[in-house]
Every structure is written in structure tokens, then in C-alpha cells.
């Protein structure tokens, strides 16, 4: 067990000095859960692991980057942080700002943010500004404002975010004793795929691992600009955390794909929901819909025969990143599984439902 956060565990790989105040909530060190059910279901000669980032302090991987971004903002004497957000960035930014004694401003697309995430930003004391516009418009405005005012931008275009998030790869390699062969990950603004790839390469350069994974990124079919090579003006998907039409780290994501020999593909909302249900019902892990895109991607790729072609017979290691916690978006779960209708407070009525 570790009581250290990401900065203390991996400071030799991070842009921090003795003078950096460490603003931490003991993020990182998240579980790598073996998903044997998926291995059997998919008839795979592989070990499949789920990196459950929902176990971070605010319930998503954003905390890994936020600890570094907010620590550096504090070091630079900033009084406030600001972000555009589909939800989790604002939840994380507001918590770390509270921890640092700084103000936070978050701009969200009206109506398209999961309730749990909004609650987090509000209770941590952020000034929440909802706009009649989508994430991409929110980010453009935040960039303009933070260019002009002494407010630190903490979206993943802030390089400190990427630096912190690469700790996810270090943990996977430390746990497995090597890098996985395949790394499945949801792609929205594309900061995380960029960060993981950077982390694997740095660990290899440091001699900690000898192999590199293929990076397998998945966008939602209604918001897949990288897959189709065009900006989506009106991105649509139930996976709100990846509902992004013009990713800030587009080029970097393509570089991760091409350098690693991986792919960036799309999965439909139905495929996402299917994976979301399997994870919860058969594996016991409740992630948010966007997170399930990685596992939906694994199922899709397998059905296309990808692994059979590439890895005939050889045992491989696959890691799927589950980016955030299911409790962030309880409405989605309750919409998919019907809410129970009340019955009389009667033993027989209950037994009947139990099937006895
Ligand atoms: C932010 C987020 C993503 C997308 O990550 P990017 O770095 O924007 O590609 C995916 N899932 C969840 C839960 C997120 O919060």
C-alpha cells in the first residue's frame, strides 16, 4: 500500500523540483483487475487486465494529471485554475484547487454533463459556468480567457496534465513486470492516449521495460473525428466523457497509433452499453459509459479477427483502461436496467420475485 501520490512516487520522471508545493489527494496506485470472464467469453489465449481509474480520489484518471497541473500553477503563483469540461476535468480541477486553496472556474456544455460530476464541481466550490454550446466551443473560450488573465488552464493541452497522466503506464509496467502487448483506451480529447504512450516510451528509455504496447484507441461512432479524419461539428454519444468533435491532441494520438503500430477505431453506443453491462454484471466493475469504450473496442477487434492474425497461439497481455467510475453517471445505469416497481410489504410477494 502506498500513501504517496503520483508526484512522490514518480518524481524523477516529472517536471517538479524541491520548490514545487505538492498538491495531492493520494491519487494513482489504482488496481489492475484480471478479467478472466472476458478471456473465456472471447476465447482468448491472452491475459486481460482492467486498469480501474475510477478508484482515483475524484473517480477518474484526470486526478493523475491534475496533481501536477495544480501543483505547478501554485508554484507559479496563480490564484485560480480554469477548464472546459465534459465533467471529469471539472470534478478533478475543483477538488485539487480546493486542496491548494485556489479558485476554480469550469465551463461546461449545458445539459450534457453527468449529474455526479456536476455535483462534485459544485460541492468543491468551483464557479460553474454552463454554456449553450458543446465542449469544443467551451475549450476555445477557456483558451482565450486564460491567455489574457492570470488563470492557469488545466485542460489536457496543459503539458503538466500529460506529464502526470503518464504515471498510469508506469504503474501498469510496475505491476506486470513488463509493458502489455496491447493497450486499449477510450479517446476523447486524446490527451490520455498521448500520455500513456509517452509514459511507455520513457519507461523503455529508462530501461524499466524492453517492449512497447500497440496503442488501441476507441472513439464513439457519433464522435469519431480521428477515425474519419474530419471535425464533428455536432458530436453525439451517450458516452459524454468522449463526446468531442475536435480533439486538442489529435496529432499526438495519431503519432501514438502510428509509432506503436496500433489503431484508432470507433465503437457504437450499443457496443459501449453492451461492454458496460458485461463489466458490471459479469466482472463486478462499475465504470462509466465512456470507459467501457476500451472493452467494447477489445470485443470488436477480436471479432474482426485481429488477434488471430497478429498473435497466432502466443499468449499476450492486454490492458484496458477504465477511465472513470460508474457512480458518476447513475442515470445511465438506471435507464438501461429498469427501476423496480414496488410491491406490498409481504413475504410472499418478495419470495415470488425472488423466484422461490
Ligand atoms: C476525459 C475522459 C476520457 C477521455 O480522455 P481524453 O484524454 O480526453 O482522450 C475518457 N473517459 C473518461 C471517464 C474521461 O473522464
C-alpha 104/C-alpha 106 separation (Å) is 7
CA pseudo-torsion sign 173, 175, 178, 184: negative
User: What are the beta bridge partners of residue 218?
Assistant: 186, 265
C-alpha cell at 142: 477557456
Terminal-residue alpha carbon distance, the chain = 44
Residue 100: its H or E element: helix 88-100
Burial classification of residue 233, based on how many CB atoms lie within 10 Å of its CB (0-12 exposed, 13-18 middle, 19 or more buried): exposed
What residue ranges line ligand 1, CB within 6 angstroms? 60, 62, 88, 156, 186-192, 241-242, 288, 290-291, 323-324
Q: 60 — alpha (psi -120 to 50), left (phi > 0) or beta? A: beta
Q: Which atom of ligand 1 is nearest to the CA of 186?
A: 10
Cell of 310: 497478429
Task: Provide the pLDDT for residue 86.
Answer: 83
Residue ranges of the chain with per-residue pLDDT less than 70: 1-3, 308-313
Q: Check residue 340 and report its DSSP letter.
A: P
Alpha helices, H only, 261-346: 269-278, 289-303, 306-310, 330-336
Ligand 1 centre to CA of 244 (Å) is 10
Q: At what angle do helices 269-278 and 289-303 cross, to 10 degrees?
A: 100
From 121, 156, 189, 328, the mutation candidate for ligand 1 (largest count of ligand atoms within 8 A of CB) is 189
pLDDT score recorded for residue 1: 45
Looking at residue 313, its pLDDT comes to 62
pLDDT of residue 43: 87
Distances (CA, A) of 184 to 43, 50, 116: 18, 10, 25
Residue 188 CA, ligand 1 centroid: distance in Å: 6
Strand partners, 103: 80
Q: What does the radius of gyration of the chain's CA atoms come to, in whole angstroms?
A: 20
Report pLDDT for 340.
85
Cell of 132: 449553450
Give pLDDT tens digits for 66-77.
999 999 999 999
pLDDT at 339: 82
Amino acid at each position: 500500500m502506498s500513501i504517496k501520490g503520483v508526484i512522490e512516487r514518480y518524481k524523477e520522471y516529472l517536471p517538479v523540483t524541491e520548490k514545487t508545493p505538492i498538491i495531492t489527494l493520494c491519487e494513482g496506485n489504482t488496481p489492475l483487475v484480471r478479467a478472466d470472464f472476458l478471456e473465456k467469453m472471447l476465447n482468448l489465449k491472452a491475459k486481460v487486465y482492467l486498469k480501474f481509474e475510477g478508484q482515483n480520489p475524484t473517480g477518474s484518471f484526470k486526478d493523475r494529471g491534475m496533481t501536477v497541473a495544480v501543483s505547478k500553477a501554485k508554484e507559479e503563483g496563480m490564484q485560480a485554475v480554469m477548464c472546459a469540461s465534459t465533467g471529469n476535468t471539472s470534478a478533478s480541477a475543483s477538488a485539487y484547487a480546493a486542496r491548494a486553496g485556489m479558485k476554480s472556474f469550469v465551463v461546461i456544455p449545458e445539459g450534457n454533463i453527468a449529474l455526479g460530476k456536476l455535483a462534485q464541481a459544485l460541492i468543491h466550490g468551483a464557479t460553474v459556468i454552463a454554456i449553450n454550446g458543446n465542449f469544443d466551443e467551451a475549450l476555445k473560450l477557456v483558451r482565450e480567457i486564460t491567455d489574457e488573465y492570470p488563470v492557469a488552464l488545466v485542460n489536457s493541452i496543459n503539458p503538466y496534465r500529460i506529464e502526470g497522466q503518464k504515471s498510469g503506464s508506469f504503474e501498469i509496467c510496475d505491476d506486470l513486470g513488463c509493458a502489455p502487448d496491447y493497450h486499449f483506451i477510450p479517446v476523447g480529447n486524446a490527451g490520455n492516449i498521448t500520455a500513456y504512450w509517452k509514459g511507455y516510451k520513457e519507461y523503455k528509455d529508462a530501461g524499466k521495460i524492453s517492449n512497447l504496447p500497440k496503442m488501441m484507441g476507441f472513439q464513439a461512432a457519433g464522435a469519431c473525428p480521428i477515425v474519419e479524419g474530419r471535425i464533428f461539428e455536432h458530436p453525439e454519444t451517450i458516452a459524454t466523457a468522449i463526446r468531442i468533435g475536435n480533439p486538442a491532441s489529435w496529432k499526438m494520438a495519431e503519432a501514438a497509433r502510428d509509432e506503436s503500430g496500433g489503431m484508432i477505431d470507433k465503437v457504437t453506443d450499443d457496443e459501449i452499453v453492451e461492454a458496460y453491462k458485461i463489466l458490471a454484471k459479469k466482472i463486478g466493475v462499475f465504470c462509466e459509459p465512456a470507459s467501457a469504450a476500451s472493452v467494447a473496442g477489445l470485443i470488436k477487434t477480436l471479432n474482426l479477427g485481429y488477434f488471430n492474425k497478429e498473435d497466432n497461439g502466443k499468449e499476450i497481455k492486454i490492458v484496458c483502461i477504465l477511465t472513470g467510475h460508474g457512480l458518476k453517471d447513475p442515470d445511465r445505469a438506471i435507464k438501461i436496467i429498469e427501476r423496480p416497481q414496488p410491491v406490498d410489504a409481504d413475504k410472499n410477494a418478495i419470495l415470488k420475485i425472488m423466484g422461490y
